[in-house]
Structure formats: C-alpha cells, structure tokens
Amino acid sequence: MRYKKTLFIAAIAIAFGAGLAASPLLHEIVPAAHAQGNGLAPQMIDLLALKHADLPETPNPEMHNRMLVNTDNATVALQSGNVAKHLHPKTDEIQYIVEGSGAMWLGNERKEFKPGTLIIIPKGTAHGGTIVANGPVKAIAIKIPPQPKDDTTFLQ
C-alpha cells in the first residue's frame, strides 16, 4: 500500500514537471497558442529577496500572498504565513517550501517540512494548520486549475 502511495506521488510530480517543461515548447510548435496570448510575460523574480511584509495581505491576517502566474490552466503564487486547516474540493495544490520549517496537517497526519520540501495536495485533502518551528514559512503555491473563490472549506 505504501509503495502505491509513493508511486502515485512520484507520478504526479513527474507529470507536473513534464507539463512545465513542455509548455514553452508547445508555444513554439503551435503558433496559434502563442498568438492568442496566455497572460504570461517573460520575467525573473528573486523569491528569496521577497519578505513576508513585501507580499500583499489577504483576508486571513496571518497569510500574505503574491500572484506570480495566472493562466486559464493554473496559478502560481508566493505565500508567506499560516492558514487554518482547510481543503479545496475543486483544486489540486502543489507547494514548494522556500523558507521556514515546521509541521502541518496533510490529510489526517501531521507532517514535518523544511526548505526544499515539495508538498502534493490533491483536491479534497485537508492541509494547513502549520506549527512553525522557523519562519515565517514561505512557499510557492501552484493551483490546478485556478482556485475559484468558493473553493476553501475550513475544518476543525
């Protein structure tokens, strides 16, 4: 059972990486896709230079968030801070921890994380409620598809 779970997580990570690698190639191969535009602009962002206070506040007073990429298929944001345990019924989420360490809920278990940790959160999976050991915690958050406004259910 553990082997299947590990294989499933690895397959998601590989598929995500392949999609990222293929996307620029598709724009060269399919000129119509490039001509339509997808809201992307060439840019380089120093994520380590951006601090918690540099990111826009959210309705959650502990969480700051800056949208980095917003397309019809996915969003990429830089998040800093904490949010209560919740789930997204309609959106898969992938987080990459840039800074900070601690433990968070992932499903029914508390899991430890540190810089360099990749967290795969399939839709409907409880997550959040971070206990910060070193922070604030800063993560790249990828949402597939883009998260609708009504797609956060807070849990006890």
The model's confidence at residue 20, banded by pLDDT at 50, 70 and 90, is: very low
pLDDT mean over 8-15: 53
Domain locations in the chain?
Answer: 1-37, 47-154
pLDDT score at 156: 84
Q: Which residues, including other chains, have CB under 8 Å from residue 12's CB and lie 6 or more apart?
A: 94, 120, 122
3 state SS of 36: helix
Query: What is the architecture of the domain spanning 47-154?
Result: Sandwich (2.60)
Query: Between the CA of residue 45 and those of 27, 30, 125, what are the distances in Å?
Result: 22, 27, 30
pLDDT for the residue numbered 60:
87
Structure tokens given for 75: 């969003």
Max avg pLDDT among 3-7, 23-27, 81-85: 81-85
Please state the rounded mean pLDDT for residues 68-89: 96
* Residue 94 scores a pLDDT above 60: yes
Helices (H), 30-85: 31-36
